[in-house]
């Protein structure tokens, strides 16, 4: 079986390549990346692959049976970028596409959902078999700000009470490996999230316990949180999207208690305490 994975040098992509190598050692793996020179350490063949250059995509997919389409990290018309890949996969005769979508899909109230909903629609219209991995939040989305939270004694956000069922990138990468390498997943949609949910106040309390410092949670109005993110150097548009995601988490957008992810990968998802301890170390 030949499995190709887009975005293979990204944070999720690298973990997915490693998980595929462990779970499907006999598979022929191909890393699809903008710059193959950055993929030499992956230990698999790499092909140049740029979502924004549609004329180059189909040749790069020659011989690929299963394509893992990791959603683009370039927020400049992601839906069109994904549509380019789907059209190229169809033209190249790819048998199945595994797509990393967003938890709840078209039922999600997040601004982030729009590109994923459009991509899911393009997949259905393509006639190519597909599997949807509707990923919830990555725990790592919060871990990068631990030092600042400890320094200032506060975790800030726009989610006063919503519960977040996050999981680690490694957990989601393992799910990619399972559905890409094993039969029986075509036509399936998986709502993926962590086994245990927490409020951001509980997140702050865990950080306080592990760091030995006083850390609380400060819930801001959505607009104020967006401005705070801009103050940290994020572009205004991206800050607005992240602030919206946090506010919609308060409405339940990042909560799921089905434990589909742990069932799929055959083990519990990584607990918040363990992920935080590793980040602090």
- Taking only the tens place, the pLDDT of each residue in 234-243 is 999 999 999 9
Alpha helices per DSSP H over the chain = 11-23, 57-60, 78-92, 113-126, 140-143, 146-152, 169-181, 200-211, 222-231, 236-249, 260-265, 272-280
Q: What is the mean pLDDT of residues 20-43?
A: 94
Under the banding of pLDDT at 50, 70 and 90, the label for residue 74 is confident
Q: Quick check: 91 pLDDT over 90?
A: yes
Residue 217: which residues within 8 A CB-CB, separation 6 or more? Answer: 154, 155, 156, 157, 199, 200, 201, 203, 204
- Taking only the tens place, the pLDDT of each residue in 145-197 is 999 999 999 999 999 999 999 999 999 999 999 999 999 999 999 999 999 99
CATH class of 2-136+169-191: alpha beta
Instruction: Record the pTM.
Output: 0.96
């Amino acid at each position: 079986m030949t499995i190709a994975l887009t975005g293979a040098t990204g944070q999720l992509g690298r973990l997915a390549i490693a998980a595929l190598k462990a779970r499907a050692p006999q598979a022929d793996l191909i890393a699809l990346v903008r710059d193959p020179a950055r993929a030499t350490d992956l230990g698999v063949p790499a092909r140049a692959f740029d979502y924004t250059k549609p004329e180059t995509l189909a040749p790069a997919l020659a011989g690929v049976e299963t394509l893992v389409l990791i959603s683009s990290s370039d927020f400049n018309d992601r839906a069109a970028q994904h549509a380019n890949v789907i059209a190229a996969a169809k033209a190249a005769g790819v048998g199945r596409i595994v797509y990393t979508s967003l938890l709840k899909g078209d039922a999600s109230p997040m601004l982030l959902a729009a590109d994923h909903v459009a991509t899911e629609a393009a997949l259905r219209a393509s006639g190519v078999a597909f599997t949807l991995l509707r990923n919830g939040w990555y725990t790592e989305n919060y871990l990068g700000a631990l030092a600042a939270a400890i320094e200032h004694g506060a975790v800030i956000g726009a989610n006063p009470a919503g519960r977040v069922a996050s999981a680690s990138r490694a957990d989601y990468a393992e799910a990619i490996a399972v559905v890409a390498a094993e039969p029986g997943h075509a036509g399936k949609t998986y709502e993926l999230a962590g086994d245990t949910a927490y409020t951001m106040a509980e997140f702050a309390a865990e950080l306080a316990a592990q760091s030995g410092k006083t850390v609380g949670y400060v819930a801001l109005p959505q607009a104020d949180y967006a401005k705070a993110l801009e103050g940290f150097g994020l572009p205004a548009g991206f800050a607005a999207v992240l602030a919206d995601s946090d506010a919609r988490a308060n409405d339940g957008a990042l909560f799921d208690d089905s434990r589909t992810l742990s069932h799929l990968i055959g083990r519990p998802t990584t607990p918040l305490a363990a992920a935080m301890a590793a980040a602090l170390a």
